[in-house]
């Protein structure tokens, strides 16, 4: 029985998910983030036990929190902190002024840009630390970010099994060279991870 930990790069995954459905001319469904790691673990060969899931999210700063969408996102993050066998690790989502002569207006995206901070290093630290502490046998990383190649190489050195999963349309070729296995997930997979309210809305 292989012990599995799932590490989700939430923003990377969410952007890929939205792009996938947009390219197919449809709206992305609302996913159950409790079902997601369970279904990911089922993709693995052999007998596996999901030990725990780590969700890495960028926390909106005070400026962004003036928008309802980011207030909703922050509430969702807080709700995920109450899930069983699930840990939320927060980075930061910071608004930066584009032009010093033009004050930032939260309702005018032309006056600022958003910068994600901390997610990459948080994932690297948690995946490696738990690997060296022998907390898992298999690390399953849900992200298409090629920055994790070095992390995968180190885990390979200490004998851990590494699996990378990307959304259809993401280029994970660099990650594939450094992991033991990889998967590309699409609508067929996502239909198994729908929230109850999405199921009711489905035709």
**Do the beta carbons of residue 54 and residue 8 sit within 8 Å?**
yes
The residue-averaged pLDDT of 183-202 equals 79
* Host H or E run for residue 98: none
Short-list 27, 33, 42, CA closest to 8: 33
**Do the beta carbons of residue 137 and residue 4 sit within 8 Å?**
yes
Question: What is d(CA 157, CA 103) in angstroms, rounded to the nearest whole number?
Answer: 50
CB contact burial 69-86 (16+ within 10 A = b; e otherwise): ebeebbeebeebeeeeeb
pLDDT in tens, 20-54: 999 989 999 999 999 999 999 999 999 999 999 99
Q: Locate all alpha helices (DSSP H) within 81-190, ordered by sequence.
A: 119-132, 149-157, 173-176, 187-190
Location of structure tokens 């029985």: 1
**Do the beta carbons of residue 154 and residue 19 sit within 8 Å?**
no
pLDDT for residue 197: 63
Provide the pLDDT confidence category of residue 199 given band limits of 50, 70 and 90. very low
Location of structure tokens 């600022």: 112
Beta strands in the chain (DSSP E): 2-9, 48-60, 86-97, 112-117, 138-142, 161-167, 181-185
Rg from Cα positions in the chain: 18
For residue 130, pLDDT beyond 90? yes
pLDDT in tens, 106-126: 999 999 999 888 889 999 999
What average pLDDT does the chain have? 92
Percentage of the chain beyond pLDDT 90 is 79
3-state SS, residue 60: strand
The residue-averaged pLDDT of 142-154 equals 93
pLDDT for residue 10: 94
Q: What distance, in Å, lies between the first and last C-alpha atoms of the chain?
A: 38
3-state SS, residue 74: helix
Provide the pLDDT confidence category of residue 198 given band limits of 50, 70 and 90. low
For residue 82, pLDDT beyond 80? yes
* pTM recorded for the entire structure: 0.90
Quick one: tokens of 60?
């909106």
pLDDT for residue 186: 95
Provide the pLDDT confidence category of residue 98 given band limits of 50, 70 and 90. very high
pLDDT for residue 195: 85
3-state SS, residue 178: coil
The residue-averaged pLDDT of 183-190 equals 95
* Host H or E run for residue 141: strand 138-142
DSSP state of 171: -
């Amino acid at each position: 029985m292989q012990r599995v930990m799932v590490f989700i790069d939430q923003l990377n995954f969410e952007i890929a998910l939205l792009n996938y459905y947009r390219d197919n001319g449809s709206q992305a469904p609302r996913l159950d983030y409790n079902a997601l790691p369970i279904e990911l673990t089922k993709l693995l060969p052999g007998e596996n036990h999901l030990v725990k899931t780590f969700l890495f999210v960028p926390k909106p700063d005070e400026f962004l929190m003036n928008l309802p969408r980011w207030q909703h996102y922050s509430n969702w993050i807080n709700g995920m902190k109450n899930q069983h066998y699930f840990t939320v690790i927060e980075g930061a989502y910071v608004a930066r002024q584009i032009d010093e002569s033009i004050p930032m207006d939260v309702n005018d995206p032309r006056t600022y840009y958003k910068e994600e901070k901390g997610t990459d290093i948080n994932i690297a630290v948690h995946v490696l630390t738990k690997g060296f502490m022998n907390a898992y046998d298999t690390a399953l990383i849900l992200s298409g970010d090629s920055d994790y190649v070095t992390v995968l190489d180190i885990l390979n050195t200490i004998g851990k099994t590494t699996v990378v999963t990307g959304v259809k349309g993401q280029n994970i070729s660099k990650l594939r060279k450094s992991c033991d296995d990889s998967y590309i997930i699409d609508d067929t997979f996502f239909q198994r991870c729908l929230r109850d309210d999405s199921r009711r809305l489905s035709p």
